[in-house]
Amino acid sequence: MLGRAVESYLSVRRACGFDLKCPGGLLRSFAAFSEAKGKEHVCSQIAIEWAGLSRSVHQRARRLNHVIRFARYVRTEDPHHEVPPAVFGSGQQVRPTPYIFAPDDIARLVEAAAQSSHPFRRRTYRTLFALLSCTGLRVSEAIRLRLEDITPDGMLIRHAKFRKSRLVPLHKSARDQLERYLEYRLPYAPFDNHVFVSLRGTPLAVDEVEKMFRSAVNRIGLPLRKPRPTVHSLRHTFAVRSLEASPDGRERIAKHMLALSTYLGHTKVSYTYWYLQATPELMEGIAARCESLVTGGRS
């Protein structure tokens, strides 16, 4: 009975766009554990016992929070289900401070990617890293791009996070560089319609991109202290520079933030707010505006 309830819950949430690969496996494990204990409904004691099998407190909290969310769902139809207390905490980790590239470092990184031994790899990764830096795409979105996704209006990002699609405009300079790359790439792998392909003529894999990125970072001698640069740092940098370019005025800032959140494919604008703490310049700007608000504009 509990196993069927888990499958029903997962089906509903997946229909809303959630992937739930890891939570699905955990909830199935919880259902099997509960049924082995003779329980047909969510039992707080059993849930806490099951979550406590994990080694770390964070893992226990995360496991129990999945059960809590599931229990709230099934309890709406059957009050025999108990909603366990969050005895291990919230399970939410503080997002680490992102690494933000200096403008010169992005240019150096793109050039370093062009130092591969094979000319096709040079063109591919130089174009890929430049595209990531000027559009803020996720790496997974870029390597899934297909030829038909490059439209006159921009790049069509299909079924990104939470199965959402969006259109990302391209500046003329970026479009020109991408078109030149495609002219070079099409004869090389004519039977695959992905924009970026490997030497084997197959779509790039994330681990291949990360390996090339680390090689380029080492080549230009970027510091490896925390926060460390990752390929996702190109997206972080794009977001932060966009926020730094925000116009003045409360209403204009709000519109700019909402537009950037939509552009980046964030499901919540709060995910975009996180970038406000990324650089001293942004924090200084926030402090100055708060001071102006408190003092009524008086210096």
Predicted local confidence at residue 184, as pLDDT: 92
Catalytic (active site) residue 235: yes
- Over residues 181-223, the pLDDT tens digits come to 999 999 888 889 999 999 888 899 999 999 999 999 999 998 7
Catalytic residue chosen out of the listed positions 62, 123, 241, 266: 266
Write down the residue that tokens 């408190």 correspond to: 294
Name the residue with higher pLDDT: 222 or 297: 222
Q: Which of 74, 2, 86 is nearest to 37 (CA)?
A: 2
Query: Which sequence spans correspond to the domains of the chain?
Result: 2-75, 103-234, 235-295
Q: Which of 58, 232, 256, 271 is catalytic?
A: 232
Residue 147's contacts (CB-CB under 8 Å, 6 or more residues apart) are 182, 193, 194, 195
Of the residues 81, 185, 235, 236, only one is catalytic, namely 235
Q: What confidence score (pLDDT) does residue 14 get?
A: 82
Count of H helices and E strands in the chain?
A: 13, 3
pLDDT in tens, 141-188: 999 999 999 999 999 988 666 567 888 889 999 999 999 999 999 988
pLDDT band at 296, cuts 50/70/90?
low
How high is the mean pLDDT of the chain?
A: 82
Catalytic residue of the set 138, 185, 236, 241:
138
Active-site residue, 118 included: no
Least confident segment among 54-63, 167-176, 207-216, 254-263:
254-263
The pLDDT assigned to 287 comes to: 47
Of 19, 61, 80, nearest to 10 (Cα)?
Answer: 19
Catalytic annotation, pick one of 13, 39, 69, 161? 161
Check: CB of residue 288 under 8 Å from CB of residue 192. Answer: no
Q: Using an 8 Å Cβ cutoff, are 220 and 129 in contact?
A: no
Residue 266 designated active-site: yes
In this structure, what DSSP letter does residue 147 have?
A: G
Dihedral, CA atoms, 166, 230, 178, 267, nearest 10 degrees?
Answer: 0
Q: How confident is the model at residue 126 (pLDDT cuts 50, 70, 90)?
A: very high
Averaged pLDDT, 268-293: 52
- CATH class of the domain whose range is 103-234: mainly alpha
What count of other Cβ atoms lies within 10 Å of the Cβ of residue 154? 17
> Active site includes 161?
yes
